[in-house]
Each structure stands twice: as C-alpha cells, then as structure tokens.
Amino acid sequence: MTTQSFATTVADWAVGLMETLGAPGAGVAIALENLFPPLPSEVILPLAGFTAAQGTLVLWHVLIWTTAGSVVGAVLLYSLGAWLGRDRLRNIVDRMPLVSLEDVDKAEAWFTRHGDKAVLIGRLIPIVRSLISIPAGVERMSIWRFLAFTTLGSGVWNTLLVGAGYLLGDQWHIVEESVGVFQKVVIVVAVLLVVWWLVKTLRGRQDVDSPRHVRKR
C-alpha cells in the first residue's frame, strides 16, 4: 500500500467514524492514533476541521473530543510505561548489546530534570508525541503533571491542525503534506542520532578493549 492510498484509507475510516459518532468519532480516531502512531493525525485532525467547516460538526466539540482522545491514548501508554517500570526496563537493557545501564541512568537523570518540558514539547512533534508517554510512565512522573502537560500540548497541536483544516476547507490535505515533511525531518534526525550513538558506543568499547587499557600481569 502506497503512502497516498494509506492516507486515503485513513481518511475514509475517520469520515466513517465521524458520520457514525459525530465529534466523539474524531476523539476515538485520535485516541487510536496515539496508540498506533502510523495512523496520521495530520490526516485525521485537518479532516475533522474541514468537516466542521461544512457544518456537519461543531468546531469546539471537535477540539474538546480530539484533545480528550489524545489524553486517553497518552494515559494508556503512560500505564504501559508504569507497568514496565524501572526494574523491568533495566533487566531488558542489561540483556541488550550496545546498550548499557549507564545509558539508562543518563536518560533517567535527563527525564527527571526535563520531564515536564519533554512531555509538553513532545506532544508537538510527530511520532514523539505518542512515544513520550512511555518514559513518563516508567519514571512514574506525577500523573497530575502528566495530564496537565499532555492536555496543554495536545490542545495546541489539535487546535493548530483542526483549525488549519477548518480554514483551508477542501484544501485540508495541504496540512498533511506540510506535517509530512516535518515528520520526515524528525525521522532523519532520529536516525542520525542513533547512528551517532552507535558509533560512539562502539568506539568506547574499542578503546576499553585496546592493548593500552589491558593491565600488564
């Protein structure tokens, strides 16, 4: 299935939900998008805005229900992270090659310092907006802070995309194209960071295993 045909399939599915359930259908679609990131919010949200512009849905109903759907999906992923927990995560990492518990400690320390901002800003970045809920759960971030920053970040994201679809009318697909470019940039940056981390890790291990680090007997 091509990207275009997938987007068309998602659009048809979202339209069906909204025709059946109204604004809550848009909320259900966004809740599922949080749990299954390949479902593109950049298709669902502008389409919901366009539908509101046609008078089929009420705009503020759409904004409330899509934000509620975002929060529900995020809480489910937070619960998954909380169930996984630090001990299970450390046990898994301890069995993985190229990843050390020191890396986990650094990540935990970073999240402890920047957790609020990570959740808030993460909700505005494609792909990250779903995944950021898992480390928040692992670290047992205060559920009330998590809900507050998730609601705020999701509200901003949803308002931007729904509003754009509302204003653009039958040209709502322009939003999908624009966000798609942003998402590709995010993926490229993520891949580069992973490659950089792998190279750094492998070089570190080579330095440790080199003869100058082997103690003479």
Of residues 106 and 3, more confidence is placed in 106
Determine the angle formed by the axes of helices 59-94 and 101-122, rounding to 10 degrees.
180
Contact 31, 72 (CB under 8 A): yes
Of residues 72 and 42, more confidence is placed in 72
What is the model's pLDDT at position 143? 94
Q: pLDDT at residue 183 above 70?
A: no
At 217, the pLDDT band (50, 70, 90 cuts) reads: very low
Q: pLDDT at residue 44 above 70?
A: yes
pTM: 0.76
What is the rounded CA–CA span in Å between residue 178 and residue 175? 5
Domain boundaries, the chain: 3-184
Q: pLDDT at residue 87 above 90?
A: no
Cβ-count burial 115-153 (b if 16+ within 10 Å, e if not):
bbebbbebbebbebbbebbbbbbbbebeeeebeebbbeb
What is the model's pLDDT at position 191? 59
Low-confidence winner among 18-22, 137-141, 171-175 (lowest mean pLDDT)? 171-175
38 — phi, psi (to 5°)? -60, -20
Looking up tokens 């559920």 gives 143
CA count, 13 A, side-chain hemisphere, 64: 8
The percent of residues in the chain predicted with pLDDT above 90, rounded, is: 29
